[in-house]
Amino acid sequence: MQNIIEQIKKLEATSETLEIPLSQREYLQGKTNAFTNEYIDALPALKSFLDKKANESIIKITDKQKSIEEVLKIFKDEVLDTGIRAASGGHIGYIPGGGIFASAIGDYLAAVSNEYAGVSYASPGAVAIENEAINWLKKIFSFPETAIGNLTSGGSIANLIALTAARDKFQIKNNKIPFSVIYMSEQVHHCIHKSLRIIGLEDVQIRYVKLDEHYRINPEQLKEQILADKANGLNPFLVIASAGTTDVGAIDPLDDIAAIAAKENLWFHVDAAYGGFFILTSKKNWFKGIEKADSLVVDPHKGMFLPYGLGAVLIKDAKAVLHSNHYAANYMQDALSDDLVNDPANVSPELTKHFRGMRIWLPLQLHGIEPFKACLEEKLLLTKYARKRLIDMGFQVGPEPDLSVSYFWHPFVGDANAFNRKLMQNIHEDGTVFLSSTLIKDQFVIRIAILSFRTKLATIDSMLSMIQACLEKTKKEFAL
Ligand SMILES: Cc1ncc(COP(=O)(O)O)c(C=O)c1O
């Protein structure tokens, strides 16, 4: 026994260094706070994209201890100063992230307290906050109180949970798979396809419904296709609409699709990961019908400007969700509760999870909702402004966007794709503002996705100056 005690005491000398004493904690906090504050203030003047890779030998984990100063330097050089500066207002590519500071405080509190947000028994307060965030979302999207929800790591996992519920509701398994049909737009986010593969539905029949000139699903075509498939003995069970597509920000006609899904007895899923929160703006009417969805995905780490790591799913049929996600294990017996849907672990593949509720709950407590609404409305106007200015500069633009993603291209006479690809390269090399590209009907176009809370009028003006300079450069390279 004495031997064991001596061994424990010996180990304690080293293991207790993980519990950092107050004075050292204050030192680390001071250094980290100074670093992050300096970074936030410097953001407007920094490039938004640096085409530089991280040095893997510098970030290597070794046995050698480093000081916080050394670590922060590595973080700056190898992380902050490589690739897309996601916290910058100049991130206007893909779907921009945000990174509001209040959310970081929420994450910090969640991490320091390490509250267990998987089951209510472990942390009734943490789970209540998670569920309050879900309830708040239900109100925004006019979902019934009886709907269930989950805060996920992002839109991909949120879609995965929703599509799994649709699969289980209709029991799409075994020999039912090959003749079951899912309807969607070609513009759905690729995470939908990933989810279908993961949940064993790779071999279902997928119908890409014809789109109108704004890249929205044509409901008449949808109806005709479902009826034709039924007449051919197939099993239509799911229609997926988008409220804000990734490429062009299109909102499918939700109300019409909802009516068709209800009449034909299909699960109606809406992926509003990017566009959902625009329901809080003057665009509200465009979302009519979203409340009729069987399942809905929204991403607060997009439309609520939170740092990456928060998506959400709402689903009306709790039974379908519990079917795949609820499991009772012996070692969990103390945590059992009759209120199954109250525990996040029962409605998601995760058991232990980051207490993500804090990253949305805390900002809403500190700011209220108004600044978020204003910010979203501002993004819509900035999109209009950017498009008008680009037209004046001689660019072609895509159709009037439904939300804040749009695209443009230079009408180069000759190989327009090659010209615009070169223009994109020059924009990336410049890096003042980061834009991304896509293909629309095989045409190379440059996307403008305005969603960062830090993207302001001045950012758009600086983007336009950068585009102009890059255009001149590209013209020279093409000897124009
Ligand atoms: C419409 C849409 N759905 C889903 C996703 C996937 O979300 P996440 O990247 O958070 O997993 C995205 C990402 O951009 C998206 O735009």
Q: pLDDT digits over 147-183, tens only?
A: 999 999 999 999 999 999 999 999 999 999 999 999 9
**Segments in the chain below pLDDT 70:** none
Q: How would you class 65 by CB atoms within 10 Å of its CB: exposed for 0-12, middle for 13-18, buried for 19 or more?
A: exposed
CA distance 127 to 112: 17
In this prediction, residue 480 carries a pLDDT of 75
- Name the burial class of residue 402, with classes exposed (0-12), middle (13-18) and buried (19+) by CB atoms within 10 angstroms of its CB: buried
| 98, 304 Cβ separation under 8 angstroms | yes
Tell the burial category of 335 from Cβ atoms under 10 Å away from its Cβ (0-12, 13-18, 19+). middle
Bridge-based pairing state of the strands 49-50 and 83-84: antiparallel
CATH 3.40.50.1100 applies to domain 106-367: no
97 close to ligand 1 (CB < 6 Angstrom): no
Is any ligand 1 atom within 6 A of the Cβ of residue 299?
Answer: yes
Q: Supply the pLDDT for residue 409.
A: 98
pLDDT at residue 242, rounded to an integer: 98
Quote the distance between the C-alpha of residue 161 and its chain's center.
Answer: 15
Q: How far apart are CA 412 and CA 360, in angstroms?
A: 45
Query: Would you state the pLDDT for residue 420?
Result: 98
What class does CATH assign to 32-97+370-480?
A: alpha beta
With a 6 Å cutoff on the Cβ, whether 95 touches ligand 1 is: yes
pLDDT at 97: 84
The CB of 274 under 6 Å from ligand 1? The reply is yes
Q: Kindly give the distance from the C-alpha atom of residue 270 to the centroid of ligand 1, in angstroms, as a whole number.
A: 12
For residue 339, what pLDDT is reported? 87
Confidence at residue 368, expressed as pLDDT on a 0 to 100 scale: 98
Residue 396 backbone phi and psi in degrees, to 5: -95, 145
Judge if the beta carbon of residue 273 lies within 6 A of ligand 1.
yes
Any atom of ligand 1 within 6 Å of the Cβ of 155: yes
Q: Which atom of ligand 1 is nearest to the CA of 159?
A: 4
Q: Indicate whether residue 276 lines ligand 1 (CB < 6 A).
A: no
CA dist list (Å): 343 to 124, 127, 267, 337, 348: 9, 7, 24, 8, 9
> CA-CA distance, 104 to 39, in Å (whole number)?
14
Q: Which atom of ligand 1 is nearest to the CA of 246?
A: 16
Burial of 420 from C-beta contacts in 10 A (0-12 / 13-18 / 19+): buried
Cβ–ligand 1 contact at 243 (below 6 Å): no
CA of residue 274 to ligand 1 center, whole Å: 6
What pLDDT shows up at residue 353? Answer: 95
d(CA 31, CA 365): 27
CA 301 to ligand 1 centroid distance, Å? 10
Between CA 227 and CA 219 the distance in angstroms is: 12
Give the model's pLDDT for residue 240: 98
The alpha carbon of 412 and the centre of ligand 1 are apart by a number of angstroms equal to: 32
> Got the DSSP string for 79-132?
IITSEE-TTSTTB-SSS-----HHHHHHHHHHHHHT---S-TTT-HHHHHHHHH
* Residue matched to tokens 């013209």: 475
Shortest-distance Cα residue to atom 7 of ligand 1: 155
Q: Is 191 in the pocket of ligand 1 (CB under 6 A)?
A: yes
Helix (H, G, I), strand (E, B) or coil at 328: coil
C-beta 447 within 6 A of ligand 1: no
Smallest CA separation from ligand 1 atom 4, residue: 155
Q: Determine the atom of ligand 1 nearest the C-alpha atom of 272.
A: 1
Look at residue 333 in the predicted model and tell me its pLDDT.
Answer: 82
- 306 Cβ closer than 6 Å to some ligand 1 atom: no
Query: Which sequence spans correspond to the domains of the chain?
Result: 32-97+370-480, 106-367
Answer yes or no: is the C-beta of 311 below 6 A from any ligand 1 atom: yes
pLDDT tens, 48-64? 999 999 999 999 999 99
pTM, two decimals, is: 0.96
